[in-house]
Structures are given as structure tokens and as C-alpha cells.
């Protein structure tokens, strides 16, 4: 039998598309296309054209919708239009104050499984599916022409690439991307490490929250899970002294460089396990006026949500106990599986266990450059609260 180059999907798969979600799982692909990874036309079982999707033969997420128009042509020009629209949305961030932000947030920008982050004059890209990998040349060409960036690097070492049947490696795309890039973030400077740092070299999703917490910080401050000191740099602008805690030696090495870069002398760096550190601070009766909790994703999948919640509750309970009266806690979670309601419930439980009157001052989410599309829950993962100990 000669197979067609289009895909046929089930009614359930088609319904998902109609509800604004771009993914079609393998179980909803009735007839896979006889094509290599790339863009394929998709039809329902009645033969109706549904549009175009990225095709990933090895993935559980077989098809990712990119265009509802069956007559679209998915070429370099098409990618240029999509990426230009995404990058134009970031115009408010394109100032001398912020030189590191996300240009493309995958499904959130209609470019499934594509990540592109700007660090000053360079771009770090992640091609996270076989379907998007097939358009590497078109995407690189469009990014170069839209941004005029000096160099690009592919951080294709992300683990999800294995599930797509793709190799994991870091490789240059164009020009030369430095090992460390100095970037500006609302009055502070830090060094991103595009080749070796976590994710694409820095955590950009907390940028606005760092500025927010920096603006209300005071007294003795604590930055837990500090990575290269990003929150600590902002806290130090208005707090008297800051302790930054992380378990990663290399991250703290860069934190030390970042402190020097900003001429800061009031920040102490501590290499420790956060759980143990918080517990011992409570035990010795320490008190802080400002605390930040920005842990890694404790829940990597749905099965680990309960354990993750216990972990979040533990650190939040301890942080609440450490607050002076009137003290502020900024607490975040980047676990997609810990939903907003679960996170708020955890904060409530921690406050009850802490026995303090904890007042909700703000609920935070994702910034402009990490768009959370309401019909695509997976585009949203970061949530946080700013709370105050009122008694
Ligand atoms: N706040 C940072 C990002 C933190 S990412 C920023 O805004 O840039 C999470 C950090 O937690 C990583 O740096 C990781 O090294 C650290 N980490 C993970 N497990 C830890 C633990 N048990 N104790 C202390 N730090 C931990």
C-alpha cells in the first residue's frame, strides 16, 4: 500500500485542535504520514483538511498544529512571519534596562517546541522536537534577519530531545557565542553562561518578579535557591544584608563574579542544602525581613505531585517561621504539575502550620516574554506569591 504524505487524525484529536490546543498524541493518529519529520498536512477521517502540523514520528506528541489553513505553505517566509510576530511582541522589553529575555516561547508563540532566548547580542536556541528540527535552517535564517544578532548557539542538550529520537549536544549555529555574557536587568548586571549554565544560561522567567521583590525588600534578606544570585542582586539594592543559598558550587562561583560586577559587599554566599539550611535557621531562632524561595521543579511528572507538595510545604513553613513581624516572603513554583490552585492550597497549609497571620500581597505569574496561552495549559508553569507575616 502506498501511504499518503498527509496525516489522518481521530475525531478526538481534531476536537483538541478545535479547542485551541496544538498537540495530537500518537493514539489519535489514525494514519501516520509517509514523510520524514517536518510539516505535514492533516485531515480528519472524513477527509476534511484541518491544516498543517509538525510531524515527530518517534514522539508521543506526534503532531503539533502550526497553521489551520490547509493551503498554507510552510517555508522560510512562513517562519519569518511567525517569529517576527513573536519578537515584535517583546518590543516593550527591548530597552537598555533589559538585555536578556525570551524571544520565542514554543507553543506560547505558535512555534511549538522552539525556544529562543536573547542574551545581549547573542541568541540561544533549543529545537525540542524532530518536527521543528527539520526547519532549523529556516528558523536560524529568520532569527538572524529579524534580530541581527551576532551569534547563535543551539542548547540542544535538553533531555526531551531523547524522547524525539534526537541527539543531545550543544552546537554553534552562527558566529561565536561567548562563554559568559554580561546582561542588564532593571539596574543590576549579571553574567549568563549560555554554553554551560542551566536551561539556556540564565533563568529569565523570574525577571519581573526579581524587580518586584527588589522594590519591597528591606532589612535582613535571604535568597534561597539563588543560582547565580539573581534575586540576591536585586534584594541587595534595598536590604541591609543578604544571604544567598544554593547547593551548586559552579552557580555560586558565578554569583561571586556577579556580586563583584555590581560592586556589592553586603551579600554572603552559602553552599548548602536548602531544606537543611532552613531547618537549622529555625532551630537557632534566626529572623529575616525578606525571604525568597525559588526552588527547582520538585514535581517532574504527575506521579510526583504529592511528594513535591510536601517539599514546597516544608520550605514555605520554615520560611514563614523565619519571618519577622511585617516580613515579606516571595515564594514560587515552576512545576507545571503543581497547578495554581494546588500551589495556593500549599501556601494556605504552610501558613496554618506556621501559626501566623499570613497576608496575601500579590499573586504572580509569567512575564510578557513567556506567554501562557489560556487554551494550552502546558505553556504556563511559573506561579508565585508575595506574602506578609502580619503578626
Ligand atoms: N532563583 C534563581 C533560579 C533558581 S533555579 C534565579 O532567579 O535565577 C533552582 C536552583 O536551586 C538551582 O540553582 C539549583 O542549583 C538549586 N538547588 C536545587 N536543589 C537544591 C537544594 N536541595 N538546596 C539548595 N539549592 C538547590
pLDDT in tens, 260-292: 999 999 999 999 999 999 999 999 999 999 999
Q: What is the mean pLDDT of residues 310-328?
A: 98
C-beta 200 within 6 A of ligand 1: no
pLDDT, tens digit (0-9, with 9 covering 90-100), for 208-236: 999 999 999 999 999 999 999 999 999 99
- Split at pLDDT 50, 70, 90, the class of 4 is confident
CA distances for 249 relative to 74, 110, 183, 245, angstroms: 45, 37, 21, 10
Q: What is the mean pLDDT of residues 73-97?
A: 98
What is the whole-number distance in angstroms between the Cα of residue 246 and the centre of ligand 1?
6
- What is the C-alpha separation between 210 and 244, in angstroms, rounded? 14
- Split at pLDDT 50, 70, 90, the class of 50 is very high
Residue 276 makes CB contacts below 8 A (sequence gap 6+) with none
- What is the C-alpha separation between 215 and 354, in angstroms, rounded? 26
The answer to whether the beta carbons of residues 363 and 333 sit under 8 Å apart is: no
C-beta 76 within 6 A of ligand 1: no
pLDDT, tens digit (0-9, with 9 covering 90-100), for 90-144: 999 999 999 999 999 999 999 999 999 999 999 999 999 999 999 999 999 999 9
C-beta 233 within 6 A of ligand 1: no
62: left (phi over 0), alpha (psi -120 to 50) or beta: alpha
Residue to mutate (ligand 1; options 102, 247, 307; most atoms within 8 A of CB): 247
The answer to whether the beta carbons of residues 307 and 239 sit under 8 Å apart is: no
C-beta 298 within 6 A of ligand 1: no
The residues facing 125 across adjacent strands are: 116, 154
What is the whole-number distance in angstroms between the Cα of residue 145 and the centre of ligand 1?
35
> Looking at ligand 1, which atom is closest to the CA of residue 246?
25
What is the whole-number distance in angstroms between the Cα of residue 249 and the centre of ligand 1?
11
Q: What's the mean pLDDT when you consider all of the chain? A: 97
**Catalytic residue of the set 334, 342, 347, 382:** 334
> Looking at ligand 1, which atom is closest to the CA of residue 296?
9
C-beta 345 within 6 A of ligand 1: no
CA distances for 26 relative to 31, 122, 375, angstroms: 10, 36, 20
Active site residue 334: yes
Instruction: Find, among 32, 1, 44, the residue nearest to 130 by Cα.
Output: 32
Domains defined for the chain, CATH in brackets: 7-67 (2.30.130.10), 76-181 (3.30.750.80), 205-389 (3.40.50.150)
Is 271 buried (19+), middle (13-18) or exposed (0-12) by CB count in 10 A? middle
Q: What is the mean pLDDT of residues 155-182?
A: 97
Count CA within 13 A, CB hemisphere, residue 87: 21
Give pLDDT, residue 2. 58
List, in sequence order, the alpha helices (H) in 59-169: 76-89, 130-133, 136-147, 160-163
Give pLDDT, residue 30. 98
pLDDT(1) > 60:
no
* pTM of the predicted structure, to 2 decimals: 0.96
C-beta 231 within 6 A of ligand 1: yes
Q: What is the mean pLDDT of residues 192-196?
A: 97
What is the whole-number distance in angstroms between the Cα of residue 236 and the centre of ligand 1?
18
What is the whole-number distance in angstroms between the Cα of residue 235 and the centre of ligand 1?
17
C-beta 251 within 6 A of ligand 1: yes
Instruction: Find, among 192, 205, 234, the residue nearest to 364 by Cα.
Output: 205
Query: What is the DSSP code string of 192-260?
Result: E-TTTSSTTSS--TTHHHHHHHHHH--SEEEEES-TTTHHHHHHTTTSSEEEEEES-HHHHHHHHHHHH
What is the whole-number distance in angstroms between the Cα of residue 363 and the centre of ligand 1?
21
Going by CA atoms, what residue is nearest to atom 3 of ligand 1? 227
Going by CA atoms, what residue is nearest to atom 20 of ligand 1? 247
C-beta 246 within 6 A of ligand 1: yes
pLDDT, tens digit (0-9, with 9 covering 90-100), for 329-370: 999 999 999 999 999 999 999 999 999 999 999 999 999 999
C-beta 294 within 6 A of ligand 1: yes
Share of the chain above pLDDT 70, in %: 99
Amino acid at each position: 500500500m502506498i501511504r499518503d504524505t498527509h496525516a489522518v487524525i481521530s475525531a478526538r484529536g481534531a476536537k483538541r485542535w478545535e479547542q485551541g490546543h496544538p498537540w495530537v498524541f500518537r493514539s489519535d493518529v489514525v494514519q501516520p504520514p509517509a514523510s520524514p519529520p517536518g510539516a505535514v498536512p492533516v485531515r480528519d477521517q472524513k477527509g476534511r483538511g484541518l491544516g498543517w502540523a509538525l510531524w515527530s514520528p518517534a514522539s508521543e506528541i506526534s503532531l503539533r498544529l502550526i497553521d489551520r489553513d490547509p493551503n498554507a505553505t510552510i517555508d522560510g517566509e512562513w517562519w519569518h512571519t511567525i517569529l517576527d510576530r513573536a519578537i515584535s511582541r517583546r518590543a516593550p522589553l527591548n530597552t537598555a534596562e533589559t538585555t536578556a529575555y525570551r524571544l520565542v516561547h514554543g507553543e506560547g508563540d505558535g512555534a511549538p517546541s522552539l525556544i529562543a532566548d536573547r542574551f545581549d547580542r547573542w541568541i540561544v536556541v533549543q529545537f525540542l522536537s524532530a518536527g521543528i528540527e527539520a526547519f532549523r535552517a529556516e528558523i536560524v535564517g529568520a532569527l538572524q534577519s529579524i534580530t541581527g544578532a551576532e551569534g547563535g548557539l543551539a542548547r540542544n542538550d535538553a533531555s526531551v530531545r531523547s524522547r524525539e529520537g534526537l541527539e543531545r549536544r550543544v552546537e554553534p549555529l552562527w558566529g561565536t557565542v561567548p562563554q559568559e555574557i554580561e546582561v542588564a536587568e532593571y539596574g543590576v548586571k549579571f553574567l549568563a553562561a549560555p554554553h554551560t549554565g542551566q536551561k539556556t544560561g540564565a533563568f529569565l522567567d523570574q525577571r519581573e518578579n526579581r524587580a518586584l521583590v527588589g522594590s519591597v525588600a528591606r532589612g535582613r534578606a535571604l535568597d534561597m535557591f539563588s543560582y547565580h544570585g539573581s534575586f540576591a542582586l536585586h534584594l541587595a539594592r534595598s536590604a541591609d544584608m543578604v544571604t544567598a543559598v544554593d547547593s551548586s558550587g559552579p552557580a555560586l562561583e558565578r554569583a561571586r563574579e556577579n556580586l563583584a560586577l555590581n560592586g556589592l559587599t553586603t551579600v554572603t554566599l552559602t553552599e548548602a542544602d536548602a531544606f537543611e539550611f532552613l531547618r537549622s535557621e529555625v532551630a537557632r531562632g534566626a529572623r529575616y525581613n525578606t525571604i525568597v524561595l525559588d526552588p527547582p521543579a520538585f514535581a517532574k511528572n504527575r506521579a510526583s505531585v504529592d511528594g513535591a507538595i510536601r517539599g514546597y510545604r516544608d520550605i514555605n513553613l520554615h520560611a514563614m517561621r523565619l519571618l519577622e513581624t511585617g516580613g515579606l516572603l516571595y515564594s514560587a513554583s515552576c512545576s507545571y504539575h503543581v497547578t495554581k490552585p494546588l500551589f495556593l492550597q500549599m501556601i494556605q497549609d504552610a501558613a496554618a502550620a506556621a501559626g501566623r497571620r499570613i497576608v496575601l500581597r500579590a499573586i504572580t505569574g509569567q512575564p510578557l516574554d513567556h506567554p501562557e496561552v489560556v487554551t494550552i495549559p502546558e505553556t504556563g508553569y511559573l506561579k508565585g506569591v508575595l506574602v506578609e507575616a502580619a503578626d
